[in-house]
Amino acid sequence: MATLSHLPGPEGKDNQPGLKGLIYIAPEDWFEQIAGFKTTTGKGDSVTIDGSHTFKDNPDTPGVKYGFLKAYSTQDTAQLKLEPTGDRDGRGYKASLEFFNPGDGKEQAEFMRTIKNTTCIMLVKTPDGIVKQVGAEDLGAEIVGSYDSGKLSGGRRGTTFKAEAYQNGHQFYEGTIDLLPA
- Where does the chain have alpha helices with state H? 106-115
Evaluate whether 108 touches 101 at the Cβ level (below 8 Å): yes
Q: pLDDT tens digits, residue range 68-80? A: 999 999 999 999 9
**Is residue 13 a part of any domain in this protein?**
no
Is the pLDDT at 144 greater than 80? The verdict is yes
Residue of 11 and 20 predicted with greater confidence: 20
What percentage of the chain reaches a pLDDT higher than 70? 99
**Is residue 2 a part of any domain in this protein?**
no
Is the pLDDT at 3 greater than 90? The verdict is no
**Is residue 42 a part of any domain in this protein?**
yes
Whether pTM > 0.85 for this model: the answer is: yes
Place 140 in a pLDDT band, splitting at 50, 70 and 90. Answer: very high
Q: How far is CA 20 from the centre of its chain?
A: 12
Give mean pLDDT, residues 164-174.
97
Backbone angles phi, psi at 29, to 5 degrees: -75, 0
Phi-psi domain of 135 (left: phi exceeds 0; alpha: psi -120 through 50; beta: other): left
Q: pLDDT tens digits, residue range 90-110? A: 999 999 999 999 999 999 999
**Is residue 178 a part of any domain in this protein?**
no
How many domains are contained in the chain? 1
Is the pLDDT at 52 greater than 70? The verdict is yes
Is the pLDDT at 15 greater than 90? The verdict is no
**Is residue 114 a part of any domain in this protein?**
yes
Is the pLDDT at 178 greater than 90? The verdict is yes
Evaluate whether 131 touches 170 at the Cβ level (below 8 Å): no
In this prediction, residue 5 carries a pLDDT of 83
Task: Give the residue numbers spanning the domain of 51.
Answer: 22-167
**Is residue 15 a part of any domain in this protein?**
no
Q: How far is CA 112 from the centre of its chain?
A: 16
Is the pLDDT at 166 greater than 70? The verdict is yes
**Is residue 1 a part of any domain in this protein?**
no
Give mean pLDDT, residues 26-43.
96
How many of the other CB atoms lie within 10 Å of CB of 1? Answer: 5
In this prediction, residue 1 carries a pLDDT of 62
**Is residue 182 a part of any domain in this protein?**
no
Residue 38, Cβ density class (10 Å: 0-12 exposed, 13-18 middle, ≥19 buried): middle
Give mean pLDDT, residues 116-134.
97
